[in-house]
Amino acid sequence: MTNNKILIVGGGFGGISAALTLEKENISNTEIALISDKSHFEYKPALYRVVTGRSPLEVCIPISEIFEKKNIAFALDAIKSVDPLKKIARGASGADYKFDYLVLALGSETAYFNIPGLEKFSFSFKSISEAMRLKMHLHDLFIECKKLKNNQDEKVCLLQVVVVGAGPSGIELSGELAIFMKRLAQEYGVDQSLISIDLIEAAPSILPAFPERISKKIAHRLRHIGVNIFTNRSMTKEEIEQISIRGMTMKTETVIWTAGVKSNYLYKSIGCLLLDEKGRVIVDEFLRAKRFENVFIVGDGAATANSGMAQTAIYDGQAAAENISRLIMNKPLKTYRQKKVYYALPVGPGWASVSLDFITLYGSIGWLLRRFVDFRYFLSILPVQKAVTVFRRGENLCDTCGICQPETNNSI
């Protein structure tokens, strides 16, 4: 009997979830393989903590640990092309991967919207290597600042950090930075009053997709911990040491861009997938790429109502796995239903806003809930002992951690 080959591309939330769900189904005569361009899984919801000194080992989990004792083959490779008709994917290594069923879980990329200078001069914040690069830059700012003797203007420019985009990642990051920069100032013996953290948003309010009462409460919290908020300001240009925002110019060496996301380039380059205006793949009612019976799209790359969130990617991975198993067993497919999503937004250490069905919790209770959610996720992909270890790593401060090299994408 010939084996069914299931190929999953992408070792993030969606891909890992699809692989683990399929493995649990234990379908006979089936091979499951996952290809990813990184040997580790990145837990992005806690990425902001890496920038501000928490251990990167909390957000970096080797895929080999997740798949230990599982019947899932893993290969480290970057897929460069996919031919859905010939059922073959080709990696940068030159290897060809054949499949009967394909799950594409490629995530998204940073979009710079052709704003002059932005890609070249800004920091982005979507991966561990980018987070590490930013963290080292922040340390360098204080080292530089100490060298400047009495030049107050230059010091102020050095310690002005501008975060562009007041969506969830911009909020999480600026909240954490506000406290972290003060800690660094103390460490380096620099005057704290020189620091400024500015959060810029093009919409009339921060968190434009959230209910107004939550957005107001979080704005209040941000101001309380020292973040300056500028709304109705879209960025137009970035040069070295200066950015132009509609109606004003700011002198800074640190612009962190969190305002743009686009779909992974591979979806477009495949050529025959139908895409929406954001470059996401249009899927049918079973989460398959339209017109293809054996190609499933999960997570950020699927044009579904709640894509762009880890919760949706995990759910999608499970839904695609279930339907692949039904296809193999000749059972009717299950219609994909949107998953209700919940927000748990940390704003500085020890404080979070968590929206449940009828109530929104703020403060330390929200923070505990948010940490519980993190732990629950680790438990879902790792044995209990390992989940506890990964979770506890996040409590370690590791400002001088030598494990991570900010310039490389692989092998942490």
Ligand X SMILES: Cc1cc2nc3c(=O)[nH]c(=O)nc-3n(C[C@H](O)[C@H](O)[C@H](O)COP(=O)(O)OP(=O)(O)OC[C@H]3O[C@@H](n4cnc5c(N)ncnc54)[C@H](O)[C@@H]3O)c2cc1C
**In the complex with ligand X, which residue's Cβ is closer, 45 or 226?**
45
Distance in angstroms (rounded) separating the CA atoms of residues 71 and 364: 41
State the number of binding residues for ligand X (CB under 6 A): 32
Is 252 a binder of ligand X (CB under 6 A)? no
Is 366 a binder of ligand X (CB under 6 A)? no
Distance in angstroms (rounded) separating the CA atoms of residues 234 and 165: 9
Is 126 a binder of ligand X (CB under 6 A)? yes
Is 313 a binder of ligand X (CB under 6 A)? yes
**In the complex with ligand X, which residue's Cβ is closer, 313 or 328?**
313
Region binding ligand X by CB under 6 A among candidate stretches 99-107, 187-195, 269-277, 389-397: 99-107
Distance in angstroms (rounded) separating the CA atoms of residues 100 and 84: 9
Return the number of other C-beta atoms located less than 10 Å from residue 272's C-beta. 12
Straight-line distance from the first to the last Cα atom of the chain, in angstroms, rounded to the nearest whole number: 41
C-alpha count within 13 angstroms, C-beta hemisphere, residue 282 = 8
Question: Residues 6 or more apart from 309 whose CB is under 8 A from it?
Answer: 341
Is 174 a binder of ligand X (CB under 6 A)? no
Q: Of 6, 7, 8, 9, which lies in the binding site for ligand X, with binding defined by CB under 6 A? A: 9
Q: Which amino acid, 378?
A: F
CB of 127 to ligand X, least distance (A): 8
**In the complex with ligand X, which residue's Cβ is closer, 51 or 145?**
51
CB of 249 to ligand X, least distance (A): 27
| 129, two tokens | 């290597």
| 112, two tokens | 């710079």
Distance in angstroms (rounded) separating the CA atoms of residues 256 and 197: 11
Question: Using CB under 6 A as the criterion, what x/- string covers residues 254-273 for binding ligand X?
Answer: ----------x-x-------
- B/e letters for 374-385, b = 16+ CB within 10 Å, e = fewer, are bbebbeebbeee
| CB distance 28 to 312 below 8 Å | no
Q: Of 23, 25, 62, 78, which lies in the binding site for ligand X, with binding defined by CB under 6 A? A: 78
Is 309 a binder of ligand X (CB under 6 A)? yes
Q: Which amino acid, 321?
A: A
Write out the binding residues for ligand X, residues 11-40 only, by CB under 6 A: 11-15, 35-38
Is 79 a binder of ligand X (CB under 6 A)? yes
**In the complex with ligand X, which residue's Cβ is closer, 13 or 142?**
13
Write out the binding residues for ligand X, residues 266-305 only, by CB under 6 A: 266, 299-300
**In the complex with ligand X, which residue's Cβ is closer, 299 or 348?**
299
Q: Strands 40-42 and 60-62, how do they pair?
A: antiparallel
Rg (CA), the chain: 22
CB of 75 to ligand X, least distance (A): 9
Region binding ligand X by CB under 6 A among candidate stretches 7-15, 190-198, 280-288, 352-360: 7-15
**In the complex with ligand X, which residue's Cβ is closer, 15 or 145?**
15
CB of 164 to ligand X, least distance (A): 14
Q: Of 34, 44, 225, 304, which lies in the binding site for ligand X, with binding defined by CB under 6 A? A: 44
Q: Of 53, 56, 175, 308, which lies in the binding site for ligand X, with binding defined by CB under 6 A? A: 308
Q: Strands 248-251 and 242-245, how do they pair?
A: antiparallel
CB of 36 to ligand X, least distance (A): 4
Distance in angstroms (rounded) separating the CA atoms of residues 93 and 229: 46
**In the complex with ligand X, which residue's Cβ is closer, 148 or 369?**
369
Instruction: Provide φ and ψ at 143, rounded to 5°.
Output: -65, -45
**In the complex with ligand X, which residue's Cβ is closer, 13 or 362?**
13
Return the number of other C-beta atoms located less than 10 Å from residue 351's C-beta. 21
Return the number of other C-beta atoms located less than 10 Å from residue 133's C-beta. 18
Give alpha helix (H) positions in 329-403: 364-381, 384-393
Q: Of 47, 59, 177, 382, which lies in the binding site for ligand X, with binding defined by CB under 6 A? A: 47
Give the residues lining the site for ligand X (CB under 6 A): 9-15, 35-38, 44-45, 47, 78-79, 105-107, 125-126, 168-169, 264, 266, 299-300, 308-311, 313
